[in-house]
Amino acid sequence: MPGSDATPAPPATRVVVGVTGTPGSRAALRRAADEARRRQAALWAVLAWQPPGGELHARRAPAIPLAGADWENLARTTLVTAVREVFPEGPGVPLRAVLARGTPGRALAESADREDDLLVIGAGHHGLLHRALRTSVSRYCVAHAVCPVLTVPPPPLEADLALAHRRNVWRLRLDTRHFARETGPPAG
C-alpha cells in the first residue's frame, strides 16, 4: 500500500492551553487534556514569556545580550516542569509544548488561530486592584480568539492559599535577631 510506512498525520483539531506553572494553570492543563481526549485532538501547552520590563524595555536597553536566553530557558523549564507534574505518565494525546515570546493574551489567541481549535485558560480570582492595574488574559482571549474559549476556575484551595500568603506577607515579620542570640558565637 502506498504511504503505509508514513507517520500518521497529527489530529486536525487542537486544544491550546495556557501554562504558567500555577495551581490554576495546572487545573486548566488537566481540563485541556480531558477535552483533547474527548475531541481526539492534539494538546498544545503554551507558555508566553517576556523579558523583564517587556519588549520595549528589552529593545531599548539590551545591556546583557544573554538575558533574553536566560529568561527563555527559565520559561522552558517552567513549561516542562508543569507538564511533567500534571502528566507523569503522559497526557494520553499528542502533546506539543510551545514557548511564545510576547504577552500571554496575544500569544494564546495567536496560537489558537483556527476556528476548530479550543482555547483553554485558567481564570484566577483577582481583586479589584489587580484587575485595575493588569489586563486580564482571559478577557483578552475571549475578545480576540477566533475559536471557542473555555475558562477554568482555579482549584478551591488556591484562593485559600493566596489569602494565607497575603496575610503572612503583611502580618508576620520574621525577626532573626533572637536566632543569633540563642546560637551565640562559635565555641573556640
* 151: nearest Cα among 19, 31, 22, 14: 31
Q: How far is CA 2 from CA 5, 10, 39, 117, in A?
A: 8, 19, 28, 31
In terms of CATH, what superfamily is 14-57+66-183?
HUPs (3.40.50.620)
Please give the pLDDT value at position 54. Answer: 59
Q: Give CA–CA dist 127/116, Å, rounded.
A: 33
Place of cell 496560537: 111
In sequence order, which residues have a C-beta less than 8 Å from that of residue 86 and are 6 or more positions away?
26, 29, 30, 33
Q: In what order do the strands lie in the sheet containing 42-49?
A: 95-101, 42-49, 14-18, 118-122, 149-152
pLDDT in tens, 15-62: 999 999 888 899 999 999 999 999 999 999 999 998 776 555 555 555
Please give the pLDDT value at position 162. Answer: 63
User: In the chain, what are the domain boundaries?
Assistant: 14-57+66-183
Q: Give CA–CA dist 14/45, Å, rounded.
A: 10
pLDDT in tens, 67-125: 557 888 999 999 999 999 999 999 999 999 999 999 999 999 999 999 999 999 988 65
pTM of the complete model: 0.71
* Strand, helix or coil for residue 96: strand
